[in-house]
A and B are shown apart, each in its own frame.
Chain A
Amino acid sequence: MDWTYWLFGTLRWSDFPPKPDLIATFAASLVILAPIAVAVILTVTKRWKWIWNEWLTSLDHKKIGVMYCVLAAAMLVRALIEAGLMRTQQAMANVGSPVIGADHFGELFSTHGTIMIFFVVMPFISGLINFVMPLQIGARDLTFPFLNAASLWLTAAGAMIVNASLVVGKFSTGGWSGYPPFTELAFSPGEGVNYWIWALTLTGIGTTLTGINFAVTLYKERAPGMHLMRMPLFCWTALSTSILMIFALPPLTVATAMLALDRYAGFHFFTNGAGGNMMLYANLFWLFGHPEVYILILPAFGVWSEVISTFSGKKLYGYTSLVVATISIAVLSFTVWLHHFFTMGQSADVNAIFGIATMLIGIPTGVKVYDWLLTMYRGRIRFTPPLLFAVTFLFCFVVGGLTGVLLANAPVDFAVHNSLFLVAHFHNMLIPGTLFALIAGYMYWFPKVFGFRLDERWGTISWFLWSGGFLLAFMPLYALGLMGAMRRTSMFTDPQYTPYLMIALGGAGMILAGLAALGVQLFVSIRRREQLAVPVGDPWDGHSLEWWSPAPPPEWNFARIPQVDGTEAFTAMKRDGQPYVPDPENYEDICLPANTGIPVMIGVAGFVCAFALTWYIWWLAIVSLVAMWALVVLRSWQGEPMQTFPAELVRKHTEEWLERARAATPVDRFAENAPANRGLAEPIR
């Protein structure tokens, strides 16, 4: 009897730090030291109770949204450092001095892709939708607040599994798409692929549940009069993304579960022999993977619609066409998955059909770009950092879209597939398209969340660094791809590549500087928060209901649920009515779900379960799985406890806000970055 195996699975002392090379040891110590630093800070400032009561156990959609964004930001730092390391490696190796080995490079591109998609963009999107969407539709919370918290902590558990791989053992080297047979036991025997499988499983379940929650909220919790065709465009994109999450995440769950069965139980879904077929995996994975691309981009389109319309001081041009385009993209996204493997053996006819379907997506996307341009046309444009990002987006996204249409031609794809041309293409879509939208959305809604604006100068510096860095880092990759440089290669030995690789390295450095500028911006803004405060809550002359509340909004969002009569509900209020007049009749007790620690504990149990499965520690896996469900059962016995905010408290809070609104001086649009901006807008006439 092998007791070590029964107790610890395949986990051994040699899997723990120190790691063989310096960079890996450094990374591992960061993962260990960062939580210790946070714990020390919490202990010194005596904030353990505060963080537990105010944040970790909260079911408030606004706080959950903020926690999603914090998770995304932390993971963004890691993924960008990895990107910088990969650029360094390729540039230095080409001139004869590599910094890391091929296996380490393989881990880097696998974690970079996995993290950016599943643990940066997805949580960031969930965070923004969580915070903004209920406010925009005039709701007090999502339909299922407990489920919302559970989804957050499952996603966080998945992220922590990826981080644990920095310390204990290794991560997969199979890329973010984890193609078998390479990821089968025969070729990747260690724990790496297991880490990848269980991290994705945790976040996949969390995201499916989040999608259900968002969709139900959007269908069932809208304020009276908020018809679907009156919702802000961000809500439409949130709805489309939720529907995609509901239908597109199950294929990922199925694909990873089958891969797990192959690896753990000797099944033959994707193995080389015994009837296994990796094409099955390719189809299942991209049946998820392609809609996933639109899960990432559609909410970004929503953010751009809000940002461009607000900072152009105009109603969104072509609202209906934007809605139709959004839904068209969502539907078409299910019809193009095969273009991810044109070269893997289908007939020319099949490739042609999927190629045409792919090009069709260019039509609704083009409609959107024109709508945004026409929204800006003759608008009163203020070049605030979010709008600057939007301008970069409009130019770069069109370039990326054009290279996408090129790749949609199967013959072209045969020539450039798997090259850096492809890498340049999808970064060209996802960085200016999605990541810039997330940064713009962060700067746009930050004053609503925390009650003060972000420093504009550092925002502009950050925009310059991000935009320039993006162009420098990825335009050379188009050229390199056409010259024959393949993706996921740890080193080239072609002197012709050197100038391009060096420029790309410089671009990566600029992007990291852009990230640092965002950090400085946050730091500077926190220090200047008195000057930047916008307590009335409408710093940009916003159009939708989220701006009709104090900044930060109270837990109950709205003292009374508004009646909506058209699109741009808040603009209508400011034009026709008096949004800041008290309504003494209408205060009532407000019931919201009480805090609970169960979702956090579900997340912890999920983390332990995934970790145990990764290392084949069966007893622990079973115990933690049972614990997860026991916690669900425990919750079912509690009977959804609520907390009540008495009418008197609501009245007091609301009247203070209205008092501040009456005392504030309205600011003109071109003074919105002056300290005079307290969040009360002077309407444009």
Chain B
Amino acid sequence: MSSDKKLHPGINIQHTDPKAHLEAEPIMFGFWIFLMSDLVLFTLLLATYGAMSVHGIAGGPTPGQITDLTSAGIETALLLASSFTFALASIALKYDDNQRALKRWLIVTELLGAAFIGMEIKDFVTLAGKGQVPQVSGFLSAHYALLGTHMLHVASAIVWMVMIWPQMKVPRLKKLVRLRIMRLALFWHMLDVVWVAIVTFVFLFGAST
């Protein structure tokens, strides 16, 4: 097999770490499949939201009444920026041997992700303060479940990053850590894609009603 062959979609490390590159093939492929399965989950939550935002109002607030476009805009900016910084981290992973750039960009990504979660929590608290809790209607249940699931994913990705952090210093784990960060990158970008769908079907849809 030619070492120049691109074995999986994603960051290509064949020149900087050929052994890890070969081992990455089935592992990265498996993770793509996991992401597909995870996307089915989000698709169903979005479908539920679609149904509930029409049929599940039950006298409670409508999508238009709970949409805060400013907040959603800031959250989108934070999350898209974090995806960009993670891409920079991936490039650093490929070329940077002493990991300084990698660590720097991962920290920035983590902070942006944490800020995103902070904004979302603020949104939830604001809604709850107005009595708009998930127990009010089927629509609010769907709203909280969809955004909550996404938030839980982002939070677990941050925990994942924190868990990898001390392992980056261990030479014996070097190759594994490299493969783990490559998968984490895919996960992070997928959550961005999901967020774009959420912005479209939750916030823009809500603002337009």
A residues whose Cβ falls under 8 Å from a Cβ of B: 143-144, 208, 211-213, 215-216, 219-221, 246-247, 249-251, 253-254, 258, 261-262, 265-269, 271, 273-277, 280, 284, 287, 633, 636-637, 639-640
Contacts and interface: CB of A to CB of B under 8 A. Distances in A.
A216 B29 contact: yes
B51 interface: yes
B4 to A, nearest CB: 19
7 contacts: A144-B30, A250-B40, A253-B41, A276-B56, A277-B51, A277-B52, A636-B163
B168 interface: no
Contact of A250 (B26, B37, B58, B144): B37
Contacts of B137: 268, 274-275
Interface string B144-180: 1100000000000000000100010000110010001
Given A144-B30, A212-B34, A254-B41, 12 more contacts: A213-B30, A220-B29, A254-B44, A254-B45, A258-B145, A261-B134, A269-B141, A274-B136, A275-B60, A276-B138, A633-B163, A637-B167
A251 B138 contact: no
A277 B139 CA distance: 11
B195 to A, nearest CB: 19
B37 A220 contact: no
Contacts of B58: 268, 273-275
Nearest to B39: A250
Contacts of B55: 275, 277
Q: Which 5 A-B pairs have the closest CB atoms?
A: A275-B138, A275-B58, A275-B56, A267-B141, A220-B26
B48 A269 contact: yes
B60 A280 contact: no
A216 B70 CA distance: 43
Contacts of A273: 58
Given A220-B25, A220-B29, A254-B45, A267 B135 contact: yes
A245 to B, nearest CB: 9
Contacts of B37: 208, 211-212, 246-247, 249-250
B48 A143 contact: no
Contacts of A221: 26
B199 interface: no
A640 B139 CA distance: 45
Contacts of A639: 172-173, 176
Contacts of B44: 250-251, 254, 284, 287
B167 A212 contact: no
A220 B22 CA distance: 12
B36 interface: yes
A253, A254, A276, A640 — which one has the most chain B CB atoms within 10 A of its CB?
Answer: A254
Nearest to B175: A639
B57 interface: yes
B170 to A, nearest CB: 8
A347 to B, nearest CB: 16
B198 interface: no
Contact of B26 (A216, A266, A275): A216
A636 B38 CA distance: 22
B167 A247 contact: no
B26 to A, nearest CB: 4
Interface residues of B, number: 38
Contacts, number: 113
A143 B144 CA distance: 37
Nearest to A242: B33
Contact of A258 (B34, B40, B48): B48
Contacts of A636: 163, 167, 176, 180
A247 B40 CA distance: 7
Contacts of A215: 33
B79 interface: no
B56 A268 contact: yes
B40 A267 contact: no
B138 A269 contact: yes
A578 to B, nearest CB: 29
B142 interface: yes
A250 B41 contact: yes
A216 B145 contact: no
Nearest to A216: B30
Nearest to B27: A143
Contacts of A269: 48, 52, 138, 141-142, 145
A212 B135 CA distance: 36
A278 to B, nearest CB: 11
Nearest to B40: A250
A249 B60 CA distance: 32
Contacts of B41: 250, 253-254
Nearest to A243: B33
Nearest to A262: B141
Q: Which of A220, A258, A267 has the most CB of B within 10 A?
A: A267
B77 to A, nearest CB: 29
A274 B33 CA distance: 37
Given A216-B26, A216-B29, A247 B36 contact: yes
Contact of B135 (A143, A211, A213, A265): A265
A269 B52 CA distance: 8
Interface string B59-90: 01000000000000000000000000000000
A221 B29 CA distance: 12
A245 B192 CA distance: 25
A211 B40 CA distance: 14
A221 B51 CA distance: 42
Contacts of B134: 261, 265-268
Nearest to A249: B37
Interface in B7-41: 25-27, 29-30, 33-34, 36-38, 40-41
Nearest to B142: A269
A513 B75 CA distance: 64
A212 to B, nearest CB: 5
A384 B198 CA distance: 58
Nearest to A287: B44
Given A246-B36, A247-B40, A254-B44, A266 B29 contact: no
B174 to A, nearest CB: 10
Contacts of A211: 37
Contact of B139 (A216, A265, A275): A275
A212 B52 CA distance: 31
B145 A267 contact: yes
Contacts of A246: 33, 36-37
Nearest to A253: B41
Contacts of A268: 56, 58, 134-138, 141
Contact of A261 (B27, B29, B38, B145): B145
A143 B56 contact: no
Nearest to A245: B37
B26 A280 contact: no
B173 A280 contact: no
A217 to B, nearest CB: 8
B100 to A, nearest CB: 23
A18 B149 CA distance: 42
B46 to A, nearest CB: 11
A254 B41 CA distance: 7
B102 to A, nearest CB: 18
A289 to B, nearest CB: 14
Nearest to B139: A275
Contacts of A267: 134-135, 141, 144-145
A137 to B, nearest CB: 13
B49 to A, nearest CB: 11
B180 to A, nearest CB: 8
A261 B167 contact: no
A106 B172 CA distance: 56
Contacts of B38: 250
Contacts of B40: 247, 250-251
Contact of A280 (B48, B135, B136, B180): B48
A639 B144 CA distance: 38
